[in-house]
Amino acid sequence: MKKRMFCLMLALLVLLTATGAVFAEGKTIVYWSMWSSSEPQAIVIAEAVKAYEAASGNTVDLQFKGRTGIREGLQPALDAGTEIDLFDEDIDRVNVAWKDYLLDLEELVKANDYEATALPSMIGAAREVAGGSLKSIPYQPNVFNMFYNVEIFEEAGIEAVPTTWEELLAASEKIKAAGYTALTTDDAYVMTNFGYQLARYIGEAGVVDVVTNGNWAETPEVLKAAQDYEDLYAKGYLSSTFGTSVWPTNQNGEFALGDVAMYLNGSWLPNEVKGVTGPDFKWGCFAYPAVPGGKDGIEAANFGAQVFAINKNTKVADEAFSIIEYITKGEFDKKLSVESVGIPADTTNAEWPEMLSAVKDVMAGLTTRYQWSAGIENNPDMTPIIKENFQKLCTGKVTAQEFVDALEAASK
């Protein structure tokens, strides 16, 4: 008898589920996100999606894949025909590596007057990287520049942030005299220092030419850039573990704990170390300095964003775009900015988190966009070799000339 009742209940349950599926109202949008579910960005996105569901009657199948998950899994899934309507990742990866899967968003943007309250520099960057047409919507904008501890600068008596290499040396001397170390970095970011320095001399295109064609010895600016860092080491401005500590050792250690004044990093840094610095840490940011006779100045930096993109084969493009608007406009954009200590994507959210207020002016002065590390990592077969030799240069184990010779030999 019990068995029969159980079977009856089970049959009823199956029937109800089936009828529910048939008569359910609204559409289903599948969204693969690059965040991990416990990150502040993911928590706000989940809230925004819930609000969208309540307002629209549609259902969102939201899946947090994490960085590696989406990087490895999205393209094979799309190739296999998995239904994914909306996804997000870094601006370059989406627009370059996954360009064949993107829906052109120009019409949707126009129809919804999206650009009226979007950051023009970010929309411009998204268009540029996609070859002229808008195929992704930026959010969580970021900029990669020099972050510093304002209290150390004040204590050292530095009145204005350095804009030239000479000024950086002078500021570093004052910082050293005050009992602090001027600069630090971790292994994950060490290459960006050399990329920026070389790009200041010969521009990003020059850097890419050097790393892809192996013109290390043939380009005299390589030696100059190396000598600049050799000089920083010789004068005692660099941390003794500059670029050799495994990330985030120095970021969370000597920088966040107030032993070192400067760290070349992205605007995500305050969020990453807020647990160590506490709320009283005074954040400053300035553009990586210009070098004498250099091609680029402080107007150039790597800036970008995470972007949303819609699958070109989707049947719910309007709905997917509405979700993008929910996350990147108004209430949830503001919340995303506050919770993740990030830059708002909506221009009506004019108030930036206190920790990032110094970034605002730096960002406003940028006109030239570098790709990641100004192109110094563009040859994956050389990146580890450049990294090893630059680490040695910055810890006094090789000279600038030996650095250039080693790279010239390795690239031939």
| Chain positions contacting other proteins, by CB under 8 A | 71-72, 75-76, 79-80, 90, 92-93, 96-97, 187-189, 191, 240-241, 244-247, 249, 253-254, 371-373, 375, 377-385, 387-388, 391-392, 395, 397, 410
State in angstroms the smallest separation of the CB of 75 from other proteins: 6
State in angstroms the smallest separation of the CB of 298 from other proteins: 22
State in angstroms the smallest separation of the CB of 237 from other proteins: 18
State in angstroms the smallest separation of the CB of 353 from other proteins: 24
Judged by beta carbon, residue 254 or residue 325, the one nearer other proteins is 254
Judged by beta carbon, residue 281 or residue 372, the one nearer other proteins is 372
State in angstroms the smallest separation of the CB of 291 from other proteins: 23
State in angstroms the smallest separation of the CB of 246 from other proteins: 5
Judged by beta carbon, residue 72 or residue 354, the one nearer other proteins is 72
Q: Map the chain to HEC letters.
A: CHHHHHHHHHHHHHHHHHHHHHHCCCCEEEEEECCCCCCHHHHHHHHHHHHHHHHHCCEEEEEECHHHHHHHHHHHHHHCCCCCCEEEEEHHHHHHHCHHHECCCHHHHHHCCHHHHECHHHHHHHHHHCCCCCCCEEEEEEEEEEEEEHHHHHHHCCCCCCCEHHHHHHHHHHHHHCCCEEEECCCCCHHHHHHHHHHHHHHHHHHHHHHHHCCCCCCHHHHHHHHHHHHHHHCCCECCCCCCCCCCHHHHHHHCCCCEEEEEEECCHHHHHHHHHCCCCCEEEECCCECCCCCCCCCEEEEEEEEEEEECCCCCHHHHHHHHHHHHCHHHHHHHHHHCCCCCCECCCCCCCHHHHHHHHHHHCCCEEECHHHHCCCCCCCHHHHHHHHHHHHCCCCCHHHHHHHHHHHHC
Judged by beta carbon, residue 72 or residue 106, the one nearer other proteins is 72
Judged by beta carbon, residue 155 or residue 388, the one nearer other proteins is 388
Judged by beta carbon, residue 102 or residue 323, the one nearer other proteins is 102
State in angstroms the smallest separation of the CB of 7 from other proteins: 30
Question: At which residue do the structure tokens 């600069």 appear?
Answer: 183
Judged by beta carbon, residue 187 or residue 402, the one nearer other proteins is 187
Class of residue 92 by CB neighbours under 10 A (exposed 0-12, middle 13-18, buried 19+): middle
d(CA 354, CA 279): 10
Beta bridge partners of 31: 62, 86
State in angstroms the smallest separation of the CB of 127 from other proteins: 17
Judged by beta carbon, residue 58 or residue 184, the one nearer other proteins is 184
State in angstroms the smallest separation of the CB of 376 from other proteins: 9
